[in-house]
Amino acid sequence: MSPFLVVDAERSIAKVLADPAASRWLKGALSSALDRDPVDAERDALELRRLLSLRLLELELARPLDGSAWEPEP
């Protein structure tokens, strides 16, 4: 692997962790992932992405046709 890719990844991670606009959830998840085996962390992140994408799709398909906003059930 090119050392430039590793340096860029580390720089990108540091930038997100230092960004005041980045969510606390993202920063926490990223910090937690850095303490794990990178292969396992990536595998879990991809599964999380898949599940959240499915949820978003379901919500978009269930959106009222009148254009009103979706609201979660209580």
Note the pLDDT tens digit of each residue in 30-52.
Answer: 999 999 999 999 999 999 999 99
- C-alpha span between 53 and 57 (Å, rounded): 6
Does residue 47 sit within a domain? Answer: yes
Q: Which residue has the tokens 């906003």?
A: 69
Q: Which residue has the tokens 């606009």?
A: 21
Q: Is the pTM of this model over 0.85?
A: no
Residue 61: pLDDT above 80? yes
- C-alpha span between 24 and 14 (Å, rounded): 14
Does residue 74 sit within a domain? Answer: no
Does residue 46 sit within a domain? Answer: yes
Residues constituting the chain: 74
Query: Domain span at residue 49?
Result: 10-60
Residue among 34, 15, 16 nearest 26 (CA): 16
> How many separate domains does the chain show?
1
Does residue 53 sit within a domain? Answer: yes
Report the SS3 class of residue 70.
coil
